[in-house]
Amino acid sequence: MTAQVEEIRLNLPHVELAAHLYGPEDGQPVIALHGWLDNANSFARLAPLLPGLRIVALDFAGHGHSAHRAPGASYLLWDNVADVLQVAEQLGWARFSLLGHSMGAIVSVLLAGAMPEKVERLALIDGLMPYTGEAEQAPAKLAEALRAQSALAGKRKPVYADIERAVEARMRSAGSISREAAELLAERGLMPVPGGYTWRSDSRLTLPSPLRLTRAHALAFARAVQCPSLLVLAEQGLLHTEPKFAGVVEDLAFDVRRLPGRHHLHLDDEAGAQAVADCFNPFFAVP
Residues tagged active-site: 102
R_g over Cα of the chain: 18
Query: Which helix H or strand E contains 83, and what residues bound it?
Result: helix 77-91
Q: Is the dihedral of CA 40, 45, 46, 51 positive or negative?
A: positive
CB neighbours (10 Å) of residue 112?
Answer: 26
Three-point CA angle 67, 49, 277, nearest 5°: 100
Query: Are the C-beta atoms of 123 and 101 separated by less than 8 Å?
Result: no
Query: Which helix H or strand E contains 110, and what residues bound it?
Result: helix 103-114
Instruction: Give the span between the Cα atoms of 64 and 106, in whole angstroms.
Output: 19
| Distances in whole angstroms, Cα of residue 23 to Cα of each of 45, 46, 49, 154, 156 | 13, 12, 10, 44, 39
The single-letter code of the amino acid at 16 is E
Tell me if residue 62 falls in helix, strand or coil.
coil
Instruction: Give the span between the Cα atoms of 213 and 135, in whole angstroms.
Output: 9
Query: Which helix H or strand E contains 278, and what residues bound it?
Result: helix 270-285
Instruction: Give the span between the Cα atoms of 124 and 32, in whole angstroms.
Output: 10
The single-letter code of the amino acid at 96 is F
Tell me if residue 211 falls in helix, strand or coil.
coil
Query: Which helix H or strand E contains 143, and what residues bound it?
Result: helix 138-151
